[in-house]
Structure formats: C-alpha cells, structure tokens
A and B are shown apart, each in its own frame.
Chain A
C-alpha cells in the first residue's frame, strides 16, 4: 500500500505553506519577482513625471558620421500631457533650411499605433502618415522614432536586474522588452536613478540580440522644483560608428498650451 502522505511529508508541506503565507505578509518586497519590481519602478517613474502639464523646448540635433562629418537640425518641441493616454507632441523644424516650416504632430497611445501628421510647406499640405515605422531613423540620425516617443508604462515588460551606482547617484538597472509591435529592439537595459527617476543610460539590443546603440544623458536640470530633464542626450550606434547629440535648450513648463494647439489642421498656421 503506497504511502500517500507520511507525517514527515505533511510537516514539510505545512512548513512550506506557512513560509509562503508568513513570507508574503512579513517581507512583501523580498518575495516580489524581478518583473514586479521592474514594473513598479516604471510606474513610479511615470507617477513622478505626472502633472507637468505642458512644456516647450528647443532641440539642436547634431549628427556625426564615423569620419567625423557633422550636420545640424534645429527643432522646436511642444508637448502637452494627456491624462490616461500618451502625450501630444509637436515638432517644428527650423533647420536645415530646406525643411524649414515642416511640422510633425504626434498623438501617442501606449500599445496602439500613434496618430501622426506631417505638414509639408512646399505643398501646403497636411498629410496623415503611417506611424507603424517605429524603428526607422528620425531625420537621418541615430535616434529611431521609438526612442523619442512618449514612454508609457504599458509599452514594455520589465525586469529589475540589478542596482548600481551611476555617476553621483544610485541606479536601478532594469531590462525592458518592447510590448508594442514593430520595434527594432529585442530588449533594452536602462539605468534609472532612485531619487528622481532620471534615465541616465539605455542600451538597445537589435533584432539579432546584439548591442546596437547606447544612449547617455547628462546635465539634468530640475524644473518647477520637481521635473528633471537632461540638457544633452548622446546616442551612439556601435555597429556603424555614427552618433547623434541632442542639446535641449529653453525648457519652459506650464506655458498654457492646450488641445487647440495640437490639432492636425492647425499645423498650417505654425510659423
């Protein structure tokens, strides 16, 4: 007759169950999975940045080839925070001169495809564009569209893989796997500081799982006594040697922008 449960087995099971119950109630953090911790950090980072309302800024983008040749783009950015959805954002191009007056409007939506319109001043035409091309380069730079888009929590699945110092701060190191379609990446590793949830560094791994690019941010400024924004962002492509530097200037928060300023047909009147 087979022994289904010996007293010792029963004891072990009891002990095991009580450990789980005890463990969960007494030490919630330690029993959390790395995935849960990663998600919590992403949620905390999003919560930290909520309430900024809107901002405007000037962006100077310097593209550098492997040989060291450079070219510059000047873009004005206007962003409106949208509660419960991705932000609305306007990019107005001032340089190079042949694209002066071109404007791009994006309504970003977490996992759903973004709505995107382009105003072409030569034709005086507002054109709805297909936003499915997330992995394509932005203006010939090493930044892809997906690198510059609004970072909603649901866009990735997360995993906390470590904690280490990053410059003067302590950082969470989290792995993010894009949950949206058509990403050019299999995963990203992000260094996020524990205090102000500043994204200090991101490594991007391509579809073959090889390291493709590294983003490093620098010279963070705090606005409205709370929100951190970097003054420079450098994106290096390790595979082709190209790099792009973004310099952010003239950040202004809560400037009074509203939905009215982010209508597709209002693109025509931007100067």
Chain B
C-alpha cells in the first residue's frame, strides 16, 4: 500500500482503546478447552481406583483393556470425525449410523463377489473402495438437500437416515452378510506390536482429518460458515459448494467406519452403526464443540469418543449393570455443555441468546 501511515490531521479521537481482551483467557477457559481430556483422566483414575479397591486388579495398566477400549472407540470415533466437521459448520448429520451400516453391507458383498476371481488383496481393495464410494451417495444427497434445496440439516439427514437404513437392510436381505476373505479378517483383527490394525488405520485417518480441519482453507471456511454464514458468503466463500463437500466428507467417514466394522466382525450388518447414531454427536459435544456451530476440534472429539468408550468398557469391567452406561454418558454430556456455557460467560465474549 502506498498510502501514508501518518494520517489523522484532525484528532477527533482519543488514545487507542485498551485491548481489554488481554486478560480474557482465564484459567476457566483453559480448563474448558481441555475438559474432555480432564474428564478422560478423571475416569481412568476413577476406574483404576475402583478396580484396585474392589478386586485388587488394574484397569489401565492392562494391555488387553487398552486394546479393547481402542477397538471399541474406532467406529464411534470415525463417525464423530465427520460429525465434528458438520457440527462446526452449524449443521448435524443424523444419517451417519445407517450410512455406516450400508457401507458395511456393500463392502461385504463386494469382497465376496470380487475375491474368488481376483484374489484376496484386490478383493479387500475393492471392498474398501465400494464401501466408501457407496457411502458418498447418501452424502451427496444430504449435501444437495442442505446446500441447494435449503432443507434444514436435521430434517434432511433424518430422511436419509431412513433411506440408508432401508436400503442397507434390503441389500443385506434382512440378515448379516458373512465375508470370506482371510486378508480382510486379518486387517480387522490382526495387530502389530500389540496395536490392532484398525486402530492404526483410524489414527492415521484422524491425523489427516485434524490437518484438514486445522490447516486448510476447507477447515477455515468450515469454522467461518459455522460462526457467520452471511460473513462467509460476503467474503466470497462458495458456501453451497462447501456444504456439499462437507456432507460427502462426513458420509465418507461413516463409509470407512462401515468397512472397518465388516473387517472386525467378518460380516456386514445393516444395523452396524445403530447404537452409534447419537454416540457420535455426544462425542463431539463432550469434545468441546458447540451445537450452534463455529467451535470444535478433532483432538477434542478424540477425547470425547474415548470418554464414552472408557465409560462403557470401564463399567462392564468393574461389573456394574450396563444400564449405568447410559446414565453416565448422559451426565457427562450435560456437565460438558454446562462447562461450555460457563466458559463463554467468564470469557467476557459475546453470548448469543
């Protein structure tokens, strides 16, 4: 810019205003940002204590427990990753659970059809591709509904929830589809240095998604759209195109979850993601995202998904009736949202009514 910096000949204004945001980042805010990890730490310590006191065992220092929790967290975490992107944009995707089931069934069928002629490896690759690709179709429809036809995400994806569910059951013939491919079964159940392959695949995928959300234009625009869609549009962001890609991405995450499910159980099932429908939303919210959009991180969501997995596995481990799982997860969600609200108030930022 070639303009003079020394301007303001007539000084109608006083000193520059104090930057009162300086002290805003209080301890409360730090705690709130890390709350999912703190929850997780508290849970682990709690279960460890419980295990030692009640039967003299250890909870967390047991490799089998760690592996089980990690495997347990894979599917909800993959769904929650897609959901994190959608929730940050201010939407919600209710169809993910059954898109996962659809992908599981299609992956199973594809592997069974391809393996006899083309071998184990090609069969597995075809299964992965078909599972993720088929998931993108309901994702595209969700995207079109939300971006072009202005259907509220809650309703549009609720419709797709039903469509994906019915289609998955029809394709599965109302039952589960067993897979016969040893390589696929090995991916689903094998491990290297004690770490299950599906956990490694999920971890790598998380890394990529974390990068996309925090370091790319796509991620940046996602936050902007969630905070102020009008501002995003005025800034020249292609909001429609973004929302379309967003719902395809979230469906693709569910597709990957479906394929890994088939690998783990050696069978595709339409109801694979049914219990995870709302678990994935819960993981995102516990992880610090706001359902109003504009905030959330992949790291938070990972902690959120682990919190749910630890509660569910831990309560079984210490031999408590399984119904307590629902109560505990519910309580954690509520506390998490309360902390979020308190944080906004303490931070002195603008609170939307």
Partners in one complex: no
Q: Which residues of A contact B (CB under 8 A)?
A: none
